A and B are shown apart, each in its own frame.
Chain A
Amino acid sequence: AQKITQTQPGMFVQEKEAVTLDCTYDTSDPSYGLFWYKQPSSGEMIFLIYQGSYDQQNATEGRYSLNFQKARKSANLVISASQLGDSAMYFCAMREGQGAQKLVFGQGTRLTINP
């Protein structure tokens, strides 16, 4: 079974609109972490945001927030007030277990922001 599922291969959004990128995960470990990365067309991987399974509040970093719904095993990334520079591939990833080092990545969602 896929550990991380990103069901939207591509999304198109108007500039300044909010965007939600979907991510569902599968684990039986009570301790895990969820990550989002951005990969622009230049190719680098940029760490955006992290949510721990025991964190009570949804993580936020500037215009990025993580909508964490534990019962649904969902960790959607929300980008507020989208900008042209947000056009990129976005990857969701998970770490299973406290002290674990391995991250498993989803296949990504390509986000295009239209002017």
Chain B
Amino acid sequence: NAGVTQTPKFQVLKTGQSMTLQCAQDMNHNSMYWYRQDPGMGLRLIYYSASEGTTDKGEVPNGYNVSRLNKREFSLRLESAAPSQTSVYFCASSPGLTVTSQFFGPGTRLTVL
């Protein structure tokens, strides 16, 4: 089992460019999440998907869109990147409706110039 995988690991964008971060899990989990972590900070939730076909906003959704493609995959799209979106992005998944554990991917380090 690979657990939660994310691609790419690193990315540099210019202001205004777009990109999609990919996430997949092979643990048959129902819920998936996207977080960002800024230097010296804890994680902040961007979007989550409690089940296939549903998505909801988290704490900091502005500037992002998500797609829950199927039960395994949850992508995060930046339509027009801004320097304020420079961060490390983590995808996570959890098994059930009530979160009692959450497993993270290795992260994507994104720099927007």
Contacts and interface: CB of A to CB of B under 8 A. Distances in A.
A63 interface: no
Contact of B44 (A45, A100, A105): A105
Interface in A77-115: 91, 93, 95, 98-108
Given A43-B107, A47-B101, A103 B45 contact: yes
Given A101-B31, A101-B48, A91 B102 contact: no
B24 interface: no
A48 to B, nearest CB: 10
B59 A52 contact: no
A50 interface: yes
Q: Chain A, interface size: which category?
A: 20 to 34
Interface string A9-42: 0000000000000000000000001010100000
Contacts of B100: 33, 50, 52
A53 B97 CA distance: 16
Interface string B31-54: 101000000111111001010000
Contacts of A104: 45, 59
A24 to B, nearest CB: 14
Nearest to A42: B106
B22 to A, nearest CB: 17
B88 A100 contact: no
A107 to B, nearest CB: 5
B43 A45 contact: yes
A102 B58 contact: yes
In the complex, the 8 A-B pairs of residues with the closest C-beta atoms, listed nearest first: A105-B42, A45-B104, A105-B43, A101-B48, A50-B100, A95-B99, A107-B42, A101-B50
Interface of B: 31, 33, 40-45, 48, 50, 56, 58-59, 88, 90, 92, 94, 97-104, 106-107
Given A45-B92, A101-B99, A103-B45, 10 more contacts: A43-B88, A91-B42, A91-B43, A95-B98, A95-B99, A99-B97, A103-B99, A104-B59, A105-B44, A108-B41
